[in-house]
Each structure stands twice: as structure tokens, then as C-alpha cells.
Structure 1
């Protein structure tokens, strides 16, 4: 039996406790009964809920503007942020090796668990249960839609271009790939002329590049501010 506190955070008491347990089980702990299939379903349920809400909130937006907002809300970073807000990290079921490697703090793992939990809510309580969770833990992110929604790599690229024609584009290089196939870990180095290279990591090469770009932006942008 999972803690009652978790049910309160999810806003739903599961009739099928095994379903919730599966949603919280990372492949490192049990590749056969992991949350990967639920993650697949949850991604689609989340997409529908977000798209429906955006369609209602922004009746004047063209398709392109809606797509930009959708991508900001449905990407892995948004799911990981919601997972942290919902307190899912402490309930993720991981192999001991993954726990030791800081798995509870890895955005890729948190994102997958969040999507799997959304699927479990949908299967156990219907769309209303899933929608309640998304509206609760994505509320701040919906409010932030007016902010810069470009992904970190795009922002770093545009920053480099704005420095002038002699400024080189950011360079990304893969430095490490570790972990099993079901839970890989990538380390990527990002570099722009005039600054020390910075490394980022993630569950995919793209996520690692975005993480590296985020870390590098935190260094270069303040130095460019008058």
C-alpha cells in the first residue's frame, strides 16, 4: 500500500494500487513491469489535456503560436518540474545502482514517471482525474507562457549570432555515454569562443545538449548585461 500522502498529492485514491506502483517503477528496478508502457500512454493523455486547455485559453492564437506554447508545456523539462512539485521523486522505485547515481534528481526519470502517473490516473479515474493533476501541477507553467519559451539551445544560438558575424556558433560534443540501454546517461560539452566549456547531462543526447546550453547561458548572459 502506497502512502496516503501520495494519494492526497495526486488528488485521487487509486482503486488499483498495483497500477500506481507500476507507474512509479523505473526500468532499472524491473524491466518487465516498469512504467515505460504507461509513459507512452501518459504522453498522449498529457498532450490532449494541454492542447485542449491552450485551445480554450488562446482563441486568437494561430496554430504556430499554439504549437510553441504546447511544446513548452509538454516537453520533458515541464514534466520533470511537475513531478518535483507533486513530490513524485521520493516515491520513484529505482534499482540501488540508480539511486546511488542520483536517479531521483534526473530530469529524464522524473519526466517519465510523471507521464506514467498521468496515464495511471487516466486508467484508474478517467480523464477527470488526469486533468485535475495536470491543471494542479502545471498551473505555474501555464502562467509563465508569456515568458521566453525558446529552448536553451535556440537561445544560446541566437545569443551567439547577436554578438556579430565573427562570433562562432555553439559547438556540442558528446563526452560520455553510460548506463544500460533502458536507462542511458549522456554527457555533452557545450562551448562558445571566449568562455570555458560547460558540461550537461540527460537521458538522451538532446536532453544533455539542452542541459549544457542552459548551464552555459547562465554564465554568458550575465556577462553580456551592461
Structure 2
């Protein structure tokens, strides 16, 4: 029997090696005190071990609090509505997934065989969930200030970009339609596909007598937002 190369090490072995903990130290700016927290944060439910869901629950709340607190102090004159728009644009699943992708989370997720075969390692939803679980792990391991620093470090560019235009694309499109005596934009879900852990939704937005644009994302709201943004770029 011909061996076609060295077998790939089991993900548990990878997580037990120093390179995983070195990566954690690099992205958190602190040496992990409880390595098991981070191993759990990187474990998908398909693997069968204790997974990241509880840490994801905690991390989601910590992320929301940190971003809300930062926006509250950064924009002291803004009303609640504008602060909410900024917040929603910074803590969504796709944003968390994009942050995770940029810092290499996909290389460290522990997955079952079927999830690996389905491409879960590259799923924005899975990446976003793990990102939130890592926030939860940092919070438990080092406390709130460390979690705050971790979040603001990796969200800094997005917070800066949000300053340029607080308006949500859907709000901007609705305002444009009203200003131009057009009917309210309509959104229609036209397709839903993919494995359950990585569903893709395609939404079409239409403004009567102007046109239609479609966008696909891992959540319906994100697809609607993407469609509104593309419509504005194409027709305004």
C-alpha cells in the first residue's frame, strides 16, 4: 500500500500544541491562563466534545455591552436611534464572521468529519459563532477589561468606518425612495440553500419603475442590507 504523504494530525493534537496557544496569545495580547477555555471556544458541536455554545452565548452579550458602551461615550450627542444603527452594524453575525476570518479562526476550529466535508471551517456563521465564543473565553480568563481591549482591537477599523455614514443601507434606500416620490422598497426572499450550519439566503429588493437588485448572505437581514446597498450603488 502506497502512503501518499504524512497523515494530517488530529485536530485535538493541533489544539494541544503550543502553536494554538501562541495564536491565542497573539490575538488577545495575553498568555492564556486556562487553555481549556479556548479549546472549548474552538470546538464545534459536530465534534462531540463540550462545544462553544455556552461561551458563544456569553461572548455575544459581552460584545454587545462593550460596543454599546464605546458608542455611548464616543458619540455623546447622538440619539438612541442612531446609536442603535451603529450598534447593529457592528455586532451582527456576518461582521463577527469577517473579523474571525481576518484573524485566522478557521484554521483552529475543531470539527466533526461531516461538518469539515460541508465546508464549515469557512462558514461565516460558524466563524462568527466561534468569534463570540472566543470573546466569552477572554472574559472568563482575564476579565472585562481584557475582553474590552480584545474587542476594540479587532473592531477598530469597523468602528472608524461606521463614523463616516451612520445610516443603514435600508434606511438610506427608503429615504431616497421617499425623496424621489417612489414607492417604498420591497424585499423578497427568492432562494434559500446550503447545509443547515451554513444556509445562504438570496433577497431581491425592488423599487417600482426603477429596478431590482439581488444579494446573498448567511442571514436574511444581511441579504436585505446587501441588496439595499447594491441598489443604491447602481441606481443613485
Sort the TM-score into its range (normalised by shorter chain).
Answer: 0.7 to 0.9
> Which SS does the other structure have where 1:70 is aligned?
helix
- 1:1-226 equivalences under 5 Å are 1=16, 2-30=20-48, 33-158=50-175, 164-165=181-182, 169-176=185-192, 178-180=194-196, 183=197, 185-192=199-206, 198-202=214-218, 207-211=219-223, 213-214=225-226, 217-218=229-230, 220-225=231-236
Conserved? CA contact 1:200–1:209, under 8 Å: no
Tell me the CA shift for residue 130 of structure 1: 0.8
Give the whole-Å Cα distance in 1 for the aligned partners of 2:72 and 2:203.
Answer: 38
When the two structures are superposed, what TM-score results if normalisation uses the length of structure 1?
Answer: 0.79
- Over 3 Å counting, the alpha-carbon distance change for 1:155 and 1:33 in structure 2 is farther
Q: Which runs of 5 or more residues in structure 2 are unaligned?
A: 1-15
After alignment, is 133-142 or 66-75 more displaced? 66-75
- Local SS of the residue matching 2:43: coil
> What is the rounded CA distance, in whole Å, between the counterparts of 2:114 and 2:171 in structure 1?
34
Larger-Rg structure: 2
2:27 counterpart SS class: helix
How far apart are residue 199 of structure 1 and its match?
A: 4.9
C-alpha deviations, 1:35-55, integer Å up to 9, x for none? 111111011111221222223
Number of residue-to-residue matches in the alignment: 216
- Structure 2 distance, partners of 1:34, 1:103, is 15
Deviations 1:95-129 (A, max 9, x none): 33333433233322222111100000011111122
> In structure 1, the residue corresponding to 2:157 is in which secondary structure?
helix
Distance 1:115 1:98 in 2: 19
> Helix, strand or coil: the match of 2:203?
strand
Measure the CA separation in 2 of the matches of 1:224 and 1:197: 10
In structure 1, C-alpha distance between the alignment counterparts of 2:112 and 2:169, rounded to whole Å: 31
Whole-Å separation in 2 of the counterparts to 1:90 and 1:157: 40
CA–CA distance in 1 between the matches of 2:229 and 2:120?
25
- For structure 1, the residue ranges without an aligned partner over 5 or more in a row are none
Structure 2 CA distance for partners of 1:212 and 1:74, relative to 1, 3 Å = closer
Change (3 A) 1:56 1:169: closer
